[in-house]
């Protein structure tokens, strides 16, 4: 089907003529390489008519059977991807390594339109047959690509916009390509940047499943330089045989360890690569398989965080026959660990935040809403941009407007001579985290709503609006719907912020308290010698109800680790309220006892908050500043809470009081 190969002179003329005709100033490097292949290797002319090469039905079935069970997994992930981009005019397409289309998912109303483009089952879409296109160019380049409309070499394909990513086996060999193609004329390059990222994630999911399935009889070392990424899509995977030698490694392992090829890893004993032996790995799997532990490589001494999975263990992708991305992705960042609700929250959060859906996090104080928000940011396409936090409860009302929107020079008395960019503008392109959004004053809620809707901010003292690229996560421990009913929160702002609401469970509700205790203790120890916990002390930590949630747990572990003398936390290192909560309650201050009446049981929310505040104050010798800092709130907010519960700070605490009025 190819024409005679044009001479070099003629080829350059063809390239120049096509780019001028289509109004293209500069070709992206991968597009330029592909166009040159079309001209020099395949002898294709842009204007030649369509002549789609299609496998017969028997040949198509044989190609599909070659993928075996992986085709079902790929189909599942295609459905997940299609749900994310449904309604935008896209088809999701799977090809084999030769570019033959094996499976498609598209809206029935678009079927005829895509058939006209030649995207049929069994059709061959490698570059030799179809010129520059998403599938063919992805396979030729071996990397994720976007081919947008006029970048297609053949004239008859310029209506298409295609984003494709390779699917690799455990040895780095191409298995096929996953593609999302649109014939929608309104499709833009900005949309394609988002689409290719989603396609790449789905292709990596399929590759990851293939790795874990192929080596389910081996030891699997899962690691990353950042603990919150262990168990997530970008973790490194290394399969290790019974003799302690590396059988395979995925692309992320090569990247994490800074090696150029699998030959530097495969076949080598694990103790030649890391500062631990195979026996250590087996011990970890036997006693703490679900616990992340620090490891170091021998080549450069860099620290990683790892989990080890024993042979035949149900691996994260075992649920891939369903449609849940969480079952394939197995989210396990720092404070999510193994709790099912938290895992579901993180999987949903990553999916929706990738589509720029605003996230509202709800949970009691100390449940780790800020850590969760950072995990969503770290897994986003804009993770290299700023993560900017605004604590709406900690900033005085008279300063929160300038903090959010910034101000120009001389805007008010005391303003900086240079002016200041507000938090919203600082977050542009990254993530804006609005913590304790329920404490934002009503007047500022209206300004925030306008900024989000218009995607621009106007600094105080300026009449010039500045465009911003916003990705918003909000958090609160309050019931915003009740606040709306009480006219304390704007309903229109609520629906702008709550694209989806994720409920973070309290610590006492979580099923992974044991893993969480060990994870936080490792973080507190850092590079120092690890600290262990005696069995009776550990049992007390598990029994305690933790009214202050993860924040309280972290403070207790930090103090206990500092107090223990032999690197083992014992009962004597723990607060009395944890060792013997019944005795602590019976010896509580009079004001706490008075809060309990026949009409209001001791387990009420008000009583629990009051007890938690008093406990925190006692832990910090009634120093209000230190207590507020430990609780992550402002002193004024703490004073308001103390006043609400009728708790008066001890005068000997030596803490300055807020101004009267």
Among 314, 330, 362, the domain-final residue is 314
Residue 598 scores a pLDDT above 60? no
Same domain for 613 and 478, yes or no, is no
- Percent of the chain that is helix, strand, coil (3-state, to 5): 45, 15, 40
Q: What's the pLDDT at 321?
A: 33
Range in 41-55, 192-206, 357-371, 412-426 the model is least confident about:
412-426
> How many CA atoms lie within 13 Å of 293's alpha carbon, on the beta-carbon side?
21
Confidence of residue 98 (pLDDT cuts 50, 70, 90): very high
- Mean pLDDT across 636-660: 58
Same domain for 276 and 223, yes or no, is yes
Distance CA 496, CA 448 (A): 10
Q: What's the pLDDT at 85?
A: 77
Confidence of residue 394 (pLDDT cuts 50, 70, 90): confident
Same domain for 225 and 164, yes or no, is no
What is the domain count for the chain? 5
pLDDT tens for 400-440 read: 777 888 877 655 444 455 667 888 888 999 999 999 999 88
pLDDT tens for 313-325 read: 443 333 333 333 3
- Mean pLDDT across 533-562: 89
Q: What's the pLDDT at 419?
A: 64
Q: What's the pLDDT at 236?
A: 93
CATH code for the domain in which residue 648 is found: 1.10.10.60
pLDDT tens for 466-524 read: 898 999 999 999 999 999 999 999 999 999 999 899 999 999 898 888 888 888 888 77
Cα–Cα distances in angstroms (integers) from residue 496 to residues 402, 415, 453, in the given order: 22, 31, 8
Cα–Cα distances in angstroms (integers) from residue 495 to residues 87, 168, 191, 489, in the given order: 21, 41, 24, 11
Q: What are phi and psi of 68, to 5 degrees?
A: 60, -135
Q: What's the pLDDT at 22?
A: 86
Among 468, 503, 538, the domain-final residue is 503
The DSSP annotation for 607-652 comes to HHHHHHHHHHHHHTTT-HHHHHHHHTS-HHHHHHHHHHTT----GG
Contact 407, 420 (CB under 8 A): yes
Q: Is 512 inside a domain boundary? A: yes
Compute the Cα dihedral for 252, 253, 258, 259 and give only its sign.
negative
Distant-in-sequence, close-in-space partners of 272: CB < 8 Å, separation ≥ 6: 298
Q: What's the pLDDT at 522?
A: 81
Q: What's the pLDDT at 179?
A: 95
Domain limits for position 241: 217-314
pTM: 0.50
Q: What's the pLDDT at 606?
A: 52
Same domain for 510 and 498, yes or no, is no
Confidence of residue 646 (pLDDT cuts 50, 70, 90): low
Q: Can you name the residues that pair with 3 across neighbouring β-strands?
A: none
Cα–Cα distances in angstroms (integers) from residue 484 to residues 260, 435, 644, in the given order: 57, 18, 22
Distance CA 436, CA 392 (A): 5
| Most confident option among 235-249, 303-317, 618-632 | 235-249
CATH code for the domain in which residue 566 is found: 1.10.8.60
Q: What is the mean pLDDT of the chain?
A: 80
Q: Is 321 inside a domain boundary? A: no
Pairing of strands 359-362, 472-476: parallel
Compute the Cα dihedral for 153, 159, 161, 167 and give only its sign.
negative
């Amino acid at each position: 089907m190819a024409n005679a190969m044009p001479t070099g002179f003629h080829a350059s003329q063809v390239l120049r003529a096509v780019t001028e005709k289509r109004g293209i100033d500069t070709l992206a490097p991968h597009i330029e390489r592909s166009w040159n292949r079309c001209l020099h290797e395949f002898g294709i002319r842009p204007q030649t008519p369509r002549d789609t090469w299609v496998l017969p039905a028997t040949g198509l079935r044989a190609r599909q059977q070659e993928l075996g069970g992986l085709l079902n997994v790929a189909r599942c992930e295609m459905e997940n991807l299609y749900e994310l981009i449904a309604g935008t005019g896209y088809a999701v397409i799977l090809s084999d390594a030769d570019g033959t289309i094996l499976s498609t998912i598209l809206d029935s109303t678009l079927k005829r339109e895509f058939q006209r483009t030649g995207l049929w089952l069994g059709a061959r879409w490698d570059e030799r047959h179809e010129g520059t296109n998403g599938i063919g160019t992805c396979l030729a380049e071996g990397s994720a690509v976007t081919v947008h409309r006029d970048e297609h070499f053949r004239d008859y394909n310029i209506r298409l916009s295609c984003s494709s990513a390779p699917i690799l086996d455990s040895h780095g060999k191409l298995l096929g390509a996953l593609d999302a193609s649109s014939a929608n004329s309104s499709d833009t390059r900005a949309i394609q940047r988002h689409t290719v990222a989603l396609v790449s994630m789905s292709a990596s999911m399929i590759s990851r499943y293939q790795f874990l399935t192929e080596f389910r009889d081996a030891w699997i070392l899962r690691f990353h330089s950042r603990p919150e990424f262990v168990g997530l899509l970008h973790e490194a995977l290394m399969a290790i045989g019974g003799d302690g030698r590396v059988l395979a490694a995925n692309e992320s392992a090569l990247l994490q360890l800074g090696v150029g090829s699998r030959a530097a890893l495969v076949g080598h004993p694990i103790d030649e690569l890391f500062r631990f032996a195979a026996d250590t790995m087996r011990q970890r799997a036997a006693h703490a398989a679900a616990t992340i532990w620090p490891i170091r490589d021998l080549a450069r001494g860099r620290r990683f965080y790892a989990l080890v999975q024993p042979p035949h263990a149900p691996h994260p992708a075992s649920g891939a026959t369903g449609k849940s991305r969480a079952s394939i992705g197995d989210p396990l960042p720092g404070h999510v660990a193994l709790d099912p609700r938290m895992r579901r929250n993180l999987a949903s959060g990553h999916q929706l935040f990738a589509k720029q859906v605003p996230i509202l996090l709800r949970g009691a104080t100390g449940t780790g809403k800020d850590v969760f928000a950072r995990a969503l940011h770290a897994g986003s396409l804009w993770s290299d941009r700023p993560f900017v936090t605004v604590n709406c409860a900690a900033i005085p009302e008279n300063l929160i407007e300038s903090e959010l929107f910034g101000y120009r020079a001389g805007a008010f008395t005391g303003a900086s001579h240079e002016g200041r960019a507000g938090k919203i503008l600082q977050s542009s392109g990254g993530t804006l985290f609005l913590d304790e959004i329920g404490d934002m004053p009503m007047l500022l809620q209206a300004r925030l709503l306008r900024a989000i809707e218009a995607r621009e901010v106007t600094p105080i003292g300026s009449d010039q609006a500045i465009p911003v690229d916003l990705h918003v996560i909000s958090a609160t421990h309050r019931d915003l719907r009740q606040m709306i009913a009480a006219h304390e929160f704007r309903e229109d702002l609520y629906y702008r912020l709550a694209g989806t609401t994720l409920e973070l469970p309290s610590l006492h509700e979580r099923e992974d308290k044991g893993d969480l205790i060990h994870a936080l203790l490792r973080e507190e120890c850092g590079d120092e010698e690890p600290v262990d916990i005696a069995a009776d002390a550990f049992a007390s930590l598990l029994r305690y109800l933790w009214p202050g949630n993860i924040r309280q747990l972290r403070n207790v572990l930090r103090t206990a680790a500092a107090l223990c003398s032999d690197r083992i936390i014992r009962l004597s290192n723990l607060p009395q309220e944890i060792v013997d909560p019944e005795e602590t309650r019976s010896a509580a201050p009079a004001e706490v006892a008075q809060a309990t009446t026949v009409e209001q049981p001791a387990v009420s929310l008000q009583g629990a908050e009051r007890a938690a505040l008093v406990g925190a104050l006692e832990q910090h010798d009634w120093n209000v500043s230190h207590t507020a800092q430990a609780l992550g709130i402002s002193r004024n907010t703490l004073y308001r809470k103390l006043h609400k519960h009728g708790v008066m700070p001890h005068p000997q605490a030596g803490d300055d009081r807020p101004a009267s009025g």
